[in-house]
């Protein structure tokens, strides 16, 4: 294979569904890259246009597309994708226990899918084989060979994909339209098959799958919180419109990974109240009839008690109300008002 002068081949290659994958070196930047040489044909020219959309996508959890170039392969000029080289292995089935490690991995996958969906792309083939974890533990989604642009050409006239991971709506014998919810379904199936040997509900093991009985995941996901179990069950909803977005999934998983790691400050005049795992309650008492208490439950900050007319960002406060990460608490005292600022730190999940 003859590549542009900037690159040199490293010798190894692997055949794939879309063509061949070659290890190369970017001599300008002195880094390893991967060349994916596409097969000739109209279908692959169309896929190439969709791959170009990935040039706009930047996420540490999605394989990066660096360039689209021409190479000469077997005397024929062909298009090739220049992709990020990832030193790692694809995810292995039945290799994780329920716990923080799996939760952190699922969060990384959800981050990658959120970025993909925000770029207007449907991956359509999410599964462990298409997710690689590098030497630093960072998970990256790859292989966009079946991807589609959301809302433009997202339809099919036959079942295409990996059967066990295909959402129910993809199994119709008639022409069907689909959206990013198919990736949400595949994400949940991926979560289940990563678990060490546990019996999966028979409903999702059928071809095509049938509606899941509520509560079917409690046994195989035992050890996760009820909120996470319900979240994954929701991702497997028969009704694609009932599945949560990947952005919502990412937010819930992140919240659990950061359990007891948040800190917040309430400033009343010159008095500072700090809230965290070691000091979970702050009481703001103005007088015997006007007061508010804020409690940290490990994941969010909520109003735990309330007396008198109090607003949060100009919305009447109520017991159980979650405080935004940055807000102003307004305490009404007759014709005057007292303002309390509330700010939450922004801890990050790593990697």
Which pLDDT score is estimated for 32? 93
* Alpha-carbon 157 to chain mean position: 28
Least confidently predicted of 18-22, 191-195, 266-270, 291-295:
18-22
Are the C-beta atoms of 86 and 134 separated by less than 8 Å? yes
* Alpha-carbon 108 to chain mean position: 6
Nearest to 346 by CA among 325, 315, 317: 325
Which pLDDT score is estimated for 13? 66
Which pLDDT score is estimated for 151? 64
Reported as a single tens digit per residue, the pLDDT across 196-229 is 977 899 999 998 899 999 999 999 999 999 999 9
Separation in Å, CA 206 to CA 40, 211, 221: 36, 10, 20
Confidence of residue 327 (pLDDT cuts 50, 70, 90): very high
User: 336 by DSSP, 3-state: which?
Assistant: strand
Which pLDDT score is estimated for 79? 82
Q: Decide if pLDDT at 14 tops 80.
A: no
Are the C-beta atoms of 110 and 102 separated by less than 8 Å? no
Are the C-beta atoms of 183 and 235 separated by less than 8 Å? no
Which pLDDT score is estimated for 231? 98
Which pLDDT score is estimated for 153? 53
Reported as a single tens digit per residue, the pLDDT across 128-140 is 999 999 999 999 9
Confidence of residue 193 (pLDDT cuts 50, 70, 90): very high
Domain 7-84 and domain 88-257, same fold? Reply is no
Tokens 């996420």 sit on residue: 59
Domain map (residue ranges) of the chain = 7-84, 88-257, 264-344
7-84: CATH class: alpha beta
Which pLDDT score is estimated for 68? 86
- CB neighbour list of residue 181: distance below 8 Å, 6 or more residues apart: 167, 169, 240, 241, 243
At 242, list the tokens.
């009932």
Confidence of residue 158 (pLDDT cuts 50, 70, 90): low
Architecture of the domain defined by 88-257: Orthogonal Bundle (1.10)
Least confidently predicted of 45-54, 193-202, 205-214, 241-250:
45-54
Which pLDDT score is estimated for 90? 95
Confidence of residue 76 (pLDDT cuts 50, 70, 90): confident
Q: Decide if pLDDT at 109 tops 80.
A: yes
Q: Decide if pLDDT at 56 tops 80.
A: no
């Amino acid at each position: 294979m003859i590549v542009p002068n900037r690159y040199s081949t490293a010798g190894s290659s692997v055949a794939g569904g879309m063509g061949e994958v070659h290890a190369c070196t970017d001599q300008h930047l002195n880094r390893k890259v991967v060349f994916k040489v596409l097969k000739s044909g109209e279908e692959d020219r169309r896929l190439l246009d969709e791959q170009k959309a990935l040039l706009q996508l930047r996420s540490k959890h999605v394989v990066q597309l660096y360039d689209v170039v021409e190479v000469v392969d077997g005397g024929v000029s062909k298009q090739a994708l220049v992709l990020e080289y990832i030193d790692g292995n694809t995810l292995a089935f039945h290799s994780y226990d329920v716990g923080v490690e799996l939760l952190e991995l699922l969060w990384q996958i959800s981050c990658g899918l959120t970025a993909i969906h925000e770029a207007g792309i449907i991956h359509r083939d999410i599964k462990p084989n298409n997710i690689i974890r590098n030497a630093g533990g960072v998970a990256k989604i790859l292989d966009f060979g079946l991807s589609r642009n959301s809302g433009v050409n997202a339809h099919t006239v036959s079942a295409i994909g990996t059967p066990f991971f295909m959402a129910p709506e993809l199994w119709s014998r008639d022409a069907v339209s689909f959206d990013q919810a198919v990736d949400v379904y595949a994400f949940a199936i991926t979560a289940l098959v990563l678990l060490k040997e546990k019996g999966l509900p028979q409903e999702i093991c059928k071809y095509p799958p049938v509606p899941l009985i509520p509560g079917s995941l409690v046994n195989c996901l035992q050890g996760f919180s009820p909120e996470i179990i319900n979240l994954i069950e929701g991702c497997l909803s028969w009704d694609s419109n009932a599945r949560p977005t990947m952005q919502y999934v990412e937010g819930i998983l992140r919240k659990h990974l950061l359990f007891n790691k948040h800190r917040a400050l309430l400033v009343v005049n010159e008095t500072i109240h700090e809230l965290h795992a070691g000091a979970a309650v702050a009481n703001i008492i103005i007088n015997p009839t006007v007061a508010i208490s804020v409690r940290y439950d490990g994941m969010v900050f909520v109003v735990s008690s309330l007396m008198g007319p109090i607003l949060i960002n100009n919305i009447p406060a109520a017991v159980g109300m979650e405080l935004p990460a940055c807000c102003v608490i307004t305490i009404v005292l007759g014709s005057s008002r007292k303002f309390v600022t509330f700010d939450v730190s922004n801890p990050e999940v790593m990697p």
